[in-house]
C-alpha cells in the first residue's frame, strides 16, 4: 500500500514576510515558490500543486507560467495546480497551456480543475456569478471532450462553438492527467465520478474522518456510472519544524492573520489560539515535528483509503525560510516514516 501512495505539496504563493517581519514583494514570492518546488523535487516529493488566485494576499495568478519555470529547473516532480479555476477560464486555452507545459516538462504536467474558493476571477474576466454552476458544468464537459476525443465538434451556450477542432501541441503519451477538486459537496463528488476523473479532497478544517463518507460516495458513484476505480487524494494545511512547539509557534501568527482576514470576509467567528490548537490536535492540520506529522498523516491515509496526500505548506505570512525547512523535513523525514508506518 505505502509504495503506491504519492506525496506532494501545495502552495498558493501566500504573500509572506521575511524573518524580520517585513512584507515580501509579490515578485519575490513567485521566485521563492520556484525555489520551494526545486527543493521539493530534490527532497523526493512526487508532485507540486500551485493555486490560482486574483487578490493581493496571494502572488500566483498564472500557475501554468510558474510551473513552466519549475519544469526547467526540476527533473522528476510532477507539475499540478491547486486549483485551476475552470469556471472563469477558457477550456480550450487551458488545454493548450497544459499541453505546452507537458511538452516542456517531458510528460510531467497534470491539472486539478475546480470552482475555486474565491470569486474575484468572475468579474475580472467578465463572467456572471449567477452562472456559477452552469459555467463549471458546461466548461467541464467541454474540457473532458478535448482531453479524450479530439477533433471536437461542440455547440456552446456559455462557451464558444467548435467545428472538428484539434488542439496543439498534442499530448505525447496518453491523456493529460486531470483531477477534480471538491471541498465537501456530495454533488461535486458525484460529478467527478460521472466524468471519470480522479477526486482531490480539499480539506481545510475538521477531522479527516469527516471526509470518509465522500470517498465512499465517490467509489459507489464510479460503480453506478460504470467507471473504473480511480485515485482519490486529499490536501491538508500543515507545517513541520524540529519540534512540535517550534512548528506551532512559527505558524500561529501567520495562521491567525490569514484566517482572520478570510473569516472576516465570510462572516466566520474571529479565530483564536484555542481554535488553532483544536485544529492541530483534533482537526486536519498537520503541524509539528516530523514524527508527529508522520503519525497523523499515516492515520489520515488509512482512514480515507487514498493514494495521494498533499501538504499545503504556505500559510499567510509564514516566511520562505520556514517553508523551506518544512518542505525538506516533509520529503526527507516525514514521507519515509509514513511509508514505514503504512508498510
Reading the chain (343 residues) residue by residue, the pLDDT tens digits are 566 999 999 999 999 999 999 999 999 999 999 999 999 999 999 999 999 999 999 999 999 999 999 999 999 999 999 999 999 999 999 999 999 999 999 999 999 999 988 999 999 999 999 999 999 999 999 999 999 999 999 999 999 999 999 999 999 999 999 999 999 899 999 999 999 999 999 999 999 999 999 999 999 999 999 999 999 999 999 999 999 999 999 999 999 999 999 999 999 999 999 999 999 999 999 999 999 999 999 999 999 999 999 999 999 999 999 999 999 999 999 999 999 999 9
Rounded to whole angstroms, the Cα distance separating 213 from 42 reads 35
Q: How do strand 6-11 and strand 308-312 relate by DSSP bridges?
A: parallel
CB of 127 closer than 8 Å to CB of 135: yes
Q: What is the pLDDT of residue 116?
A: 84
Give the three cell numbers for residue 128: 456572471
pLDDT at position 3, please? Answer: 62
Sign of the alpha-carbon dihedral angle for 74, 77, 82, 86? positive
107 conformational bin, left if phi > 0, alpha if psi -120 to 50, beta if neither: left
Cα 233 to Cα 306: distance, rounded to the nearest angstrom: 5
Residue 302's H or E segment, with its range, is helix 290-304
User: How many CB atoms within 10 Å of residue 145?
Assistant: 18
H or E element at residue 78: strand 78-81
The cell for 36 is 520551494
The torsion defined by the Cα of 299, 243, 49 and 218, in degrees rounded to 10, comes to 10
Closest CA to 159 of 61, 215, 62, 89: 89
Cβ neighbours of residue 249 closer than 8 Å, sequence gap 6 or more: none
Pairing of the two strands 152-154 and 162-165: antiparallel
pLDDT of residue 50: 98
Q: In which element (H, E) is residue 235 found?
A: strand 232-240
- pLDDT at position 2 is 63
Q: Is the peptide bond before 106 cis (omega within 30 degrees of 0)?
A: no
Per-residue model confidence (pLDDT) at position 117? 84
Q: Minimal CA–CA distance to 294: which of 228, 343, 226, 221?
A: 343
Signed CA dihedral, 210, 317, 325, 243: sign only? negative
10 Å CB burial of residue 69 (0-12, 13-18, 19+) is middle
Q: Where are the domains of the chain?
A: 2-332
89: closest CA among 146, 37, 32, 49? Answer: 146
Superfamily of domain 2-332: Luciferase-like domain (3.20.20.30)
Overall pTM > 0.85: yes
Amino acid at each position: 500500500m505505502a509504495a503506491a501512495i504519492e506525496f506532494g505539496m501545495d502552495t498558493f504563493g501566500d504573500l509572506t514576510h521575511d524573518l524580520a517581519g517585513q512584507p515580501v514583494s509579490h515578485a519575490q514570492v513567485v521566485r521563492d515558490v520556484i525555489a520551494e518546488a526545486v527543493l521539493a523535487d530534490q527532497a523526493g516529493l512526487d508532485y507540486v500543486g500551485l493555486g490560482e488566485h486574483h487578490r493581493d494576499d496571494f502572488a500566483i495568478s498564472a500557475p501554468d507560467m510558474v510551473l513552466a519555470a519549475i519544469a526547467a529547473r526540476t527533473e522528476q516532480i510532477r507539475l499540478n495546480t491547486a486549483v485551476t479555476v475552470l469556471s472563469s477560464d477558457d477550456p480550450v486555452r487551458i488545454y493548450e497551456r497544459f499541453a505546452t507545459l507537458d511538452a516542456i516538462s517531458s510528460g510531467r504536467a497534470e491539472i486539478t480543475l475546480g470552482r475555486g474558493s474565491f470569486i474575484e476571477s468572475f468579474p475580472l474576466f467578465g463572467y456572471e456569478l449567477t452562472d456559477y454552476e452552469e459555467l463549471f458544468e458546461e466548461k467541464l464537459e467541454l474540457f473532458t471532450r478535448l482531453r479524450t476525443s479530439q477533433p471536437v465538434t461542440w455547440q456552446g451556450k456559455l462557451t464558444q462553438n467548435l467545428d472538428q477542432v484539434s488542439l496543439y501541441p498534442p499530448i505525447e503519451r496518453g491523456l493529460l492527467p486531470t483531477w477534480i477538486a471538491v471541498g465537501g459537496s456530495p454533488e461535486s463528488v458525484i460529478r467527478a465520478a460521472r466524468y471519470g476523473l480522479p477526486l482531490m479532497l480539499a480539506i481545510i478544517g475538521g477531522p479527516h474522518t469527516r471526509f470518509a463518507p465522500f470517498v465512499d460516495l465517490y467509489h459507489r458513484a464510479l460503480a453506478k456510472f460504470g467507471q473504473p476505480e480511480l485515485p482519490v487524494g486529499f490536501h491538508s494545511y500543515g507545517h513541520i519544524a524540529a519540534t512540535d512547539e517550534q512548528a506551532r509557534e512559527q505558524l500561529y501568527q501567520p495562521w491567525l492573520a490569514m484566517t482572520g482576514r478570510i473569516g472576516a470576509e465570510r462572516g466566520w467567528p474571529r479565530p483564536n489560539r484555542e481554535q488553532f490548537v483544536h485544529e492541530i490536535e483534533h482537526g486536519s492540520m498537520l503541524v509539528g515535528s516530523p514524527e508527529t506529522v508522520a503519525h497523523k498523516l499515516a492515520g489520515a491515509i488509512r482512514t480515507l483509503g487514498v493514494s495521494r496526500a498533499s501538504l499545503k505548506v504556505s500559510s499567510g505570512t509564514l516566511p520562505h525560510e520556514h517553508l523551506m525547512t518544512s518542505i525538506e523535513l516533509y520529503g526527507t523525514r516525514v514521507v519515509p516514516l509514513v511509508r514505514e508506518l503504512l508498510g
